[in-house]
């Protein structure tokens, strides 16, 4: 069962209160308007397509009974003949009834429950609502009054409260007044509608353009679901690649820890000093044999090393030149 919400214009509620405060007794009457249930779809981050039902009851006007217990007897039985006389042209727009009681609790009485059940059975409309208003005096002088209101609905003979939203100039929704407009019953209106009906409706009284829009909407939903699946697949691939990358980084760091540092290897790589000195003596004009460092272009870079010691032969004696 969809959650119900009652929308009532502020001018209608003010009219009901004004009429009640200008009488000396309790007041009851009928509520006219329209009730509709819509299927809505919403797309969120967690779900691709969320379908929910919204039941709204729009109050448009009220008709007051000029005396109590007019359309029912003491046992709570509804008189359909009197009801048809009171509502000759508004039976199809009847959405419930209301009652105002002075200085009482915000609770339905046993008779009100019985009348409401009988009215539902007589009209074969289980969606009827009951609006209860209970004004009371706040000050002893009667200069200030307080009025509480609540709507009740019956489901399987159990009554529960229905939230009431009063539409006024402070309401941010810009369509609350246009969607709850009363149907027009003028003959000229019907003639104009019948004249231009073929442009907007099909032969089976369905909205032709609306059907095409619904088809386009279904196609857009299908394409959106495809794109969502692609995004989900790409996200899974990204997660897999990230896991592989983390494993490779861990393996590289492990291998690096097994390789000794360059500072430790450098003294071991250094060549034999005796061999280096022999090459320098053998090839004194070849800088390629005097260093172990080359540039990127292959040019030898001289190293600052101590000059090799001069070796003298013990069999050659030095003396003055002749």
Q: What is the pLDDT of residues 30-42, one digit of tens each?
A: 999 888 887 777 6
pLDDT of residue 76: 84
Where is pLDDT greater, at 56 or 187? 56
The pTM assigned to this predicted structure is: 0.50
pLDDT of residue 272: 66
Give the three-state DSSP class for 22.
Answer: coil
pLDDT of residue 233: 93
pLDDT of residue 142: 63
Q: Which long-range contacts (CB under 8 A, 24 or more apart) does 11-19 make?
A: 12/59, 12/60, 12/61, 12/62, 13/149, 13/166, 15/62, 16/62, 16/98, 16/100, 16/133, 17/133, 17/135, 17/147, 19/64
Q: What are phi and psi of 239, to 5 degrees?
A: -65, -40
Segments in 1-132 forming alpha helices (H): 10-21, 80-86, 110-123
Cα distance between the two ends of the chain: 133
% of the chain surpassing 90 pLDDT: 13
Taking the C-alpha atoms of residue 8 and residue 26, their distance in angstroms, rounded to an integer, is 21
| Across 213-218, average pLDDT | 79
pLDDT of residue 181: 46
Distance of CA 259 to the CA centre of its chain: 56
| Across 51-79, average pLDDT | 85
Residue 315 has pLDDT above 60, yes or no: no
% of the chain surpassing 70 pLDDT: 69
| Across 291-317, average pLDDT | 58
Q: What confidence tier does 171 reach under pLDDT thresholds 50, 70, 90?
A: low
Q: What confidence tier does 268 reach under pLDDT thresholds 50, 70, 90?
A: very low
Where is pLDDT greater, at 49 or 251? 251
Where is pLDDT greater, at 100 or 213? 100
Residue 173 has pLDDT above 60, yes or no: no
Element (H, E) at 5: strand 3-9
pLDDT of residue 236: 93
pLDDT of residue 244: 94
Summarised one tens digit per residue, pLDDT across range 22-32 is 777 888 899 99
pLDDT of residue 96: 92
What value does the mean pLDDT of the chain take? Answer: 77
Going from the C-alpha of 255 to that of each of 22, 245, 263, 287, the distances in angstroms are 94, 15, 18, 38
| Across 180-203, average pLDDT | 65
Taking the C-alpha atoms of residue 112 and residue 129, their distance in angstroms, rounded to an integer, is 12
| Across 120-144, average pLDDT | 80
């Amino acid at each position: 069962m969809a959650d119900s919400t009652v929308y009532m214009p502020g001018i209608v509620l003010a009219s009901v209160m004004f009429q009640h405060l200008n009488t000396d007794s309790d007041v009851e009457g009928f509520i006219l308007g329209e009730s509709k249930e819509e299927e809505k779809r919403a797309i969120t981050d967690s779900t691709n397509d969320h379908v929910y039902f919204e039941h709204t009851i729009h109050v448009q006007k009220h008709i007051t009974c000029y005396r109590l217990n007019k359309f029912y007897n003491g046992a709570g039985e509804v008189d359909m003949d009197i009801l048809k006389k009171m509502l000759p042209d508004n039976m199809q727009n009847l959405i419930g009834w209301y009652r105002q009681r002075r200085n009482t609790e915000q609770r339905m009485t046993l008779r009100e429950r019985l009348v409401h059940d009988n009215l539902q059975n007589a009209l074969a409309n289980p969606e009827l609502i009951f609006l209860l208003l209970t004004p009371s005096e706040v000050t002893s002088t009667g200069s200030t009054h307080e009025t509480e209101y609540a709507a009740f609905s019956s489901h399987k003979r159990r009554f529960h409260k229905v939230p009431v939203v009063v539409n006024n100039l402070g309401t941010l929704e810009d369509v609350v007044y246009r969607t709850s407009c009363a149907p027009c019953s003028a003959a000229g209106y019907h003639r104009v509608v019948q004249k231009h009906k073929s442009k907007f409706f099909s032969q089976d009284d369905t909205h032709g353009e609306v059907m095409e829009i619904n088809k386009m909407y279904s196609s857009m939903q299908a394409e959106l679901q495809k794109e969502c699946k692609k995004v989900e697949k790409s996200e899974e691939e990204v997660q897999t690649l990230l896991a592989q990358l983390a494993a490779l980084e861990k393996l590289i760091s492990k291998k690096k820890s097994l390789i000794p540092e360059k500072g430790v290897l450098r003294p071991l790589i250094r060549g034999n000093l005796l061999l280096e000195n022999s090459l320098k003596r053998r090839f004194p004009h070849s800088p390629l044999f005097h260093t172990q460092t080359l540039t990127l272009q292959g040019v030898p870079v001289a190293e600052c090393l101590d000059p090799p010691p001069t070796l003298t032969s013990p069999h050659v004696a030095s003396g003055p030149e002749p």
